């Protein structure tokens, strides 16, 4: 069983962020079945020495599982039933990876290099086979590209890498091809479930990479519909009615948030891949967008002034199928040992908060090590419960959530600031223990605040229940 085509990716270069960090973010969404997500550290002794995919049964040659793997954080599926699905993490070389954004394709490339029907790698495998072995974002692109060329893939996917200086986005093309682009330092990217890379310069090897025969393939099979240049979305992607309703509106809303004068419509098929904000971007901006449902537009499902048809017209970013969302931040204003931060939230983003976990650690808080069964000692299930309660009367409960999120985020920021100062001269085990202590403190604070939110929602909703009777009624 594979996950449906979900997720929304946001990438930000270091000159476009509020603090000079690089940030790569993605919501990991699923389908109608709840998919519990966890947060763990994979230490070198835990990295597999032999590997076989669960879904495709693809075996990896042992020589491709390089010796001396690095420690890395991971946000895997809690059950492990369909494989690891590590999703996102930062390794001990302070390199970040998120995988994957399911993307679109067309029959022209599928008729030349079809997706594999047997074997191959996919979202289940990419982080586990890539992140522990790379020391830069550029290396990440090359290694993932190598794996796709050697073993092939059964799905179209986009992945992103970041280090202190660079952000890269790579997309698989057909069964064995790929292309990647470096995000300019002063730019951001909004990438929904479509093939996203547009302009591509095959001569600029500093900012563009691809499988060696990609240009020859385009020319040989007459794949380019444009008179001039190369637009990979036009060549390999789609431009369908589904894109107009499912994908493009999400990018439109993000662009509209970062630039109020943004022109275009939600269904616009040619929104650019590389874009520039009118202000510097913070983690709080990304949290709002990953939680958004077209607020202040006619398409908000929670609005009381629009029609049912308008509410159902476009797929929102924040949705009941958000199961895990992250911002992988590589900071440039702190010592190296403090640089990696994995902002993490479980459950639907309309009723949760992002926690800025340090990644230079060997273990993670127990409340974030989710199990597959409903368990209110785990933050995943508390957040899921709050979102389902909140959805019953958003107008009432959203005010409680907003206060919860602002107060909790401020307290988490305070812990982070205090830890940065206290740990700036620490190294080695002393540093890791300090960061693990801070992570535990943030997890405990978040869990308590989330349970308190549950209590406030129950108390507020008590008088709103329809099943009631009073002599004064």
Q: What is the pLDDT of residues 349-384, one digit of tens each?
A: 999 999 999 999 999 999 999 999 999 999 999 999
> Residue holding tokens 């048809």?
309
The overall average pLDDT reported for the chain is 97
Cα(39)–Cα(439) distance, rounded to whole angstroms?
12
Distance CA 213, CA 217 (A): 6
pLDDT of residue 468: 87
pLDDT band for 471, please (50, 70, 90 cuts): confident
Q: Is the pLDDT of residue 2 over 80?
A: no
Task: Report the distance separating Cα 96 and Cα 328, nearest Å.
Answer: 6
- As a whole number of angstroms, the distance between CA 109 and CA 218 comes to 9
Residue 1 binned pLDDT confidence (cut-offs 50, 70, 90): very low
Q: Please state the pTM of the whole predicted model.
A: 0.97
Token pair, residue 329, equals: 């931040």
Are residues 436 and 361 in contact, defined by beta-carbon separation less than 8 angstroms? yes
| % of the chain beyond a pLDDT of 70 | 99
The band of 221, judged by pLDDT with boundaries at 50, 70 and 90, is very high
Q: Read off the pLDDT of each residue in 244-271 and give the average, rounded to a whole number.
A: 96
pLDDT 10s digits, 72-129:
999 999 999 999 999 999 999 999 999 999 999 999 999 999 999 999 999 999 999 9
User: For the chain, what percentages of helix, strand and coil (3-state, to nearest 5) are there?
Assistant: 35, 20, 45
Which DSSP category does 207 fall into? T
Angstrom distance (rounded) from CA 163 to CA 339: 10
Mean per-residue pLDDT, 412-429: 98
Integer Cα distance of 20 and 428 in angstroms: 25
Q: Could you read off the pLDDT of 151-187 as tens digits, one per residue?
A: 999 999 999 999 999 999 999 999 999 999 999 999 9
Q: What pLDDT band is residue 5 in, cutting at 50, 70 and 90? A: low
Alpha-carbon dihedral 417, 423, 429, 435, rounded to 10 degrees? -10
Domains of the chain, each with CATH number or no CATH: 8-374 (3.60.60.10)
Q: 3-state DSSP call for residue 416? A: helix
Which tokens is 189 given?
A: 């990217």
Catalytic positions: 7
Q: What sections of 69-208 are H helices per DSSP?
A: 107-110, 126-130, 137-151
Q: Give the whole-angstrom CA distance, residue 316 versus residue 358.
A: 30
Confidence of residue 469 (pLDDT cuts 50, 70, 90): confident
**pLDDT computed for residue 4 by the predictor:** 52
Q: Tens of pLDDT along 261-282?
A: 998 999 999 999 999 999 999 9
List, edge to edge, every strand of the sheet that includes 22-29. Answer: 188-191, 8-12, 22-29, 322-330, 340-346, 355-358
C-alpha gyration radius of the chain: 22
Q: What is the rounded CA–CA span in Å between residue 464 and residue 467?
A: 9
Cα–Cα distance measured from residue 361 to residue 267, given in angstroms and rounded to the nearest whole number: 43
The token pair at 358 is 């340090």
Query: What confidence tens digit (pLDDT) does each residue in 272-325 have?
Result: 999 999 999 999 999 999 999 999 999 999 999 999 999 999 999 999 999 999
pLDDT digits (tens, 9 = 90+) for 15-29: 999 999 999 999 999
């Amino acid at each position: 069983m594979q996950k449906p085509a979900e997720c929304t990716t946001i990438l930000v270069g270091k000159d476009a962020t509020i603090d000079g960090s690089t940030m790569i973010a993605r919501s990991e969404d699923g389908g109608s079945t709840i998919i519990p997500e966890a947060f763990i550290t994979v230490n070198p002794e835990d990295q597999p020495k032999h590997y076989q995919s669960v879904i495709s049964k693809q075996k990896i040659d042992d020589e491709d599982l390089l010796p001396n793997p690095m420690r890395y954080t991971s946000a895997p599926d809690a059950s492990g039933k369909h494989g690891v699905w590590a999703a996102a993490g930062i390794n001990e070389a302070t390199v970040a990876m998120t995988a994957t954004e399911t993307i679109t394709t067309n029959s022209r490339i599928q008729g030349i290099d079809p997706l594999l029907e047997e074997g191959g790698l996919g979202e289940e495998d990419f982080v586990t086979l890539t992140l522990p072995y790379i020391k830069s974002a550029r290396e990440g692109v090359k290694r993932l590209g190598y794996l796709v060329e050697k073993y092939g893939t059964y799905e179209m996917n986009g992945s992103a890498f970041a280090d202190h200086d660079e952000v890269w986005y790579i997309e698989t093309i057909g069964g064995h091809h790929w292309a990647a682009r470096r995000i300019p330092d002063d730019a951001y990217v909004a990438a929904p479930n479509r093939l996203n890379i547009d302009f591509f310069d095959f001569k600029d090897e500093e900012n563009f990479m691809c499988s060696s025969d990609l240009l020859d393939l385009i020319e040989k099979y007459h794949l380019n519909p444009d008179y001039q240049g190369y637009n990979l979305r036009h060549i390999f992607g789609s431009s369908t009615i589904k894109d107009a309703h499912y994908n493009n509106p999400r990018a439109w809303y993000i662009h509209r948030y970062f630039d109020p004068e943004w022109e275009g419509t939600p269904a616009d098929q040619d929104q650019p891949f590389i874009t520039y904000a009118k202000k510097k971007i913070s983690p709080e901006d990304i949290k709002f967008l990953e939680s958004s449902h077209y607020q202040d537009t006619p398409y908000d499902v929670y609005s009381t002034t629009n029609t049912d048809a308008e509410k159902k017209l476009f797929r929102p970013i924040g949705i009941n199928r958000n199961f895990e969302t992250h911002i992988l931040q590589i900071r440039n204003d702190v010592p190296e040992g403090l640089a990696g931060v994995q902002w993490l939230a479980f459950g639907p983003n309309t009723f949760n908060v992002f926690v800025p976990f340090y990644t230079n650690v060997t273990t993670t808080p127990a409340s974030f090590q989710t199990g597959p069964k409903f368990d209110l000692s785990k933050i995943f299930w508390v957040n899921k419960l709050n979102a389902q309660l909140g959805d019953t009367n958003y107008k009432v409960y959203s005010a409680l959530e907003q206060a919860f999120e602002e107060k909790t985020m401020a307290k988490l920021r305070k812990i982070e600031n205090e830890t940065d100062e206290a740990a700036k001269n620490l190294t080695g085990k002393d540093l890791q223990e300090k960061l693990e202590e801070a992570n535990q403190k943030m997890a405990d604070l978040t869990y308590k605040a989330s349970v308190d939110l549950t209590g406030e929602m129950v108390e507020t909703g008590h008088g709103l229940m329809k099943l009631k009777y009073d002599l004064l009624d």
